[in-house]
Amino acid sequence: MRPGERPSLWLRREAGPTELRAPIAPAAARALIAAGIAVTVEDCPRRIFRTEEYAAAGCRIAGPGTWPDAPDDHYVIGLKEPEDDPLPLRHRHLFFGHAYNGQRGAGRLLRRFAEGGGSLLDLEHVTDAAGVRVAAFGHWAGYVGAALAVLHAGGLLDAPLRPMSLPALEAALRRPRERVATALVIGALGRG
């Protein structure tokens, strides 16, 4: 990107069939567009936000899975890694790549970037000036993760997962179970 240019963002659909989350909400997309940043959003019927909400926010809508054909100057944004195929990755990508700590599949993912000339801005490692992660999970992500672990350990986790309200989750956690879960909390600040 040349000095003075504004980035263009391409929000791709998530590859995982159960992934509903989106790293950019329609309201945030509207604010980005107001700041002069172009936002393209791939249609995805399972995303928590409807495609029509992005269109109403001023986003350009693209077909699902079309990000490989996005212009070279676009940042391709997602939460998790794109489809696991041999396609070389040529764009600048932002997502939780889990690629720099030796996680499973990291070598294959990084090879795709090397072959395509693209780059990975791994959200797992983006920090502010003080070195604090800017995309760390918050209180509710930890709460839900712990709650799901307790339900699973007690044999009470239904699959596939379905959305539920906080009162319904708390009621499920209060149900009697044969096995009682124990926990070990790691990370004094909850950001471990």
DSSP structure string for 70-137: S-TTEEEE-SS----SSPPP-SEEEE----SS--TTHHHHHHHHHHHT-EEEEGGG-B-TTS-BSS--
The residue segments making up the domain with residue 99 are: 8-125
Residues 115 and 26 in one domain: yes
Q: Would you say the pTM of this structure is higher than 0.85? A: no
Boundary residue ending a domain (105, 125, 145): 125
C-alpha neighbours within 13 Å on the C-beta side of residue 129: 0
Residues 116 and 150 in one domain: no
- Residue 1, in any domain of the structure: no
Number of compact structural domains in the chain: 2
- Residue 27, in any domain of the structure: yes
Give the catalytic positions in this structure.
Answer: 80, 98
Tens place of pLDDT per residue across the chain (192 aa): 566 678 999 999 999 888 899 999 999 999 999 999 999 999 999 999 999 999 999 999 999 999 999 999 999 999 999 988 889 999 999 999 888 887 888 899 999 999 999 999 999 888 899 998 888 777 788 888 888 888 888 888 888 888 888 999 999 888 877 777 677 777 656 555
- Residue 54, in any domain of the structure: yes
- Residue 61, in any domain of the structure: yes
